[in-house]
């Protein structure tokens, strides 16, 4: 069993817990929202009473949500990675913008198992050094 060195509980049931064996510090609110510092695991955790969890550690940042995740910005949103970026959905994926520009350095592939449609209410242009329509 873990030896709790010190636990401070306020009259409002805010708890600050120091665990010497696990090398953790836990802050808990009456509604069971928690901030946990896990020194031996080199991690920080932020969790609410609904089960939403953010973990910061050696492998990066993990966000787990029991419902939706929304990112709202008054300015730009930029996503950059030194490695690959993957977007996966078990349902539809929708991108809605004034204009969409995709640029690649080597190749661009758009593939569908059933139907592929390219359409515009205005002019549609397909250009290339060699265009193969099959």
Pick the residue with more confidence: 126 or 42?
Answer: 42
> Per the domain annotation, does 108 fall within a domain?
no
Are 30 and 11 in contact by the 8 Å Cβ rule? The answer is: no
> Per the domain annotation, does 124 fall within a domain?
no
> Per the domain annotation, does 121 fall within a domain?
no
What is residue 5's predicted lDDT score, i.e. its pLDDT?
A: 75
What is residue 132's predicted lDDT score, i.e. its pLDDT?
A: 87
> Per the domain annotation, does 77 fall within a domain?
no
> Per the domain annotation, does 103 fall within a domain?
no
Q: What is the pTM of this model?
A: 0.78
Q: Which two tokens stand for residue 90?
A: 């078990």
CATH number at residue 44: 2.20.220
Give the model confidence (pLDDT) of 30-58 as tens digits.
999 999 999 999 999 999 999 999 999 99
Q: Residue 9 sits in which domain range? A: 4-64
> Per the domain annotation, does 30 fall within a domain?
yes
Q: Please return the burial class of 13, using the count of CB atoms within 10 Å of its CB with bins 0-12, 13-18 and 19+.
A: exposed
> Per the domain annotation, does 112 fall within a domain?
no
> Per the domain annotation, does 32 fall within a domain?
yes
Beta-bridge partners for 7: 17
Number of separate domains in the chain: 1
User: Using CA atoms, how far apart are residues 71 and 130, in angstroms rounded to an integer?
Assistant: 41
Give the model confidence (pLDDT) of 67-125 as tens digits.
999 999 999 999 999 999 999 999 999 999 999 999 999 999 999 999 998 899 999 99
CA distances from 17 to 2, 13, 42, 56 (A): 12, 12, 18, 20
């Amino acid at each position: 069993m873990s030896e709790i060195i010190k636990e401070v509980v306020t009259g409002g049931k805010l708890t600050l817990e120091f665990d010497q064996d696990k090398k953790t510090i836990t802050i808990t609110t009456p509604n069971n929202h928690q901030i946990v510092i896990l020194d031996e695991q080199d991690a920080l955790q932020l969790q609410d009473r609904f089960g939403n969890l953010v973990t910061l550690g050696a492998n990066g940042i993990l966000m787990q949500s029991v419902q939706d995740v929304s990112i709202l910005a008054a300015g730009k949103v930029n996503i950059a990675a030194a490695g690959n970026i993957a977007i996966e959905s078990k349902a539809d994926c929708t991108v809605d913008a004034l204009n969409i520009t995709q640029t690649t350095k080597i190749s661009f592939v758009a593939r569908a198992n059933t139907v592929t449609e390219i359409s515009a209410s205005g002019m549609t242009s397909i250009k290339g050094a060699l265009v193969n329509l099959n």
